[in-house]
Amino acid sequence: MSADCIFCSIVDGDIPARTVHETDDVLAFLDANPLARGHTLVIPKSHAQHVGDLDDGLASDLFAAVTELTPRVQAAVDADGANVGINDGEAAGQEVPHVHVHIIPRFEGDGGAPLHAVGGDRPDLSDDELDAIAADVSAALDG
C-alpha cells in the first residue's frame, strides 16, 4: 500500500471504481477515461510500480486474471479483438505508478492501431547488433 497511490486508494475502497472482477490478490475495474467500450485495468492489490517488482506468484495471479478477463470483456462489449498491454515506466507512458494491465477491446474499423504503434523511430539494426542485444538480455537474466 502506498499512501498517495490512486490505485491503492481504489483497492482500499477510498476511491470508487467500476469493479468487474476481484480475487484476494487482484482487482479489475473499468478505466475512467476509456479508449474503447469495456477498457479494463487489471492490477495487483499490493503496491508495485514496475512489472519487474512483482514476485512470481503475484505475476502469475495477475496474468491469470488477464487471460480470464480478456475474452469475457470482449464478449461483454461484442468486440472483435483486444490489445493487452502495460505501460512500464514513465518513458513508456506510465502515468499511474502502480502496475496495471490495460485490456482495450478493439472493433473492426475503429480507427485504432496495433501495439507496434507505441514505439518511437524504428532502429535499423544489423544482424551483429541483434545478436549482441540477444546476448546482453540473456546475460542479464543469468546475472
How many residues line the site for ligand AMP (CB under 6 A)? 12
The side-by-side arrangement of strands in the sheet containing 26-30 is 19-22, 26-30, 40-44, 101-106, 81-85
Binding of ligand AMP at residue 137 (CB under 6 A)? no
Closest to 102 measured CA to CA, from 87, 118, 115, 116:
87
Binding of ligand AMP at residue 33 (CB under 6 A)? yes
Grid coordinates representing 121 are 523511430
Site string for ligand AMP, 13-32 (x = CB under 6 A): --x-x-------------xx
Beta-strand relationship, 81-85 and 40-44:
unpaired
Which of 52, 89, 93, 112 forms a contact with ligand AMP (CB under 6 A)? 93
| 50 labelled catalytic | no
Which of 96, 118, 130, 137 forms a contact with ligand AMP (CB under 6 A)? 96
Question: Given the complex with ligand AMP, which of 79 and 103 has the nearer CB atom?
Answer: 103
Measured distance between the N- and C-terminal CA atoms of the chain, rounded to whole angstroms: 30
User: What phi and psi values does residue 25 have, to the nearest 5 degrees?
Assistant: -115, -10
39, 98, 100, 102: the catalytic one is 100
The catalytic residues are 100
Binding site for ligand AMP (CB under 6 A): 6, 15, 17, 31-33, 41, 87, 93-96
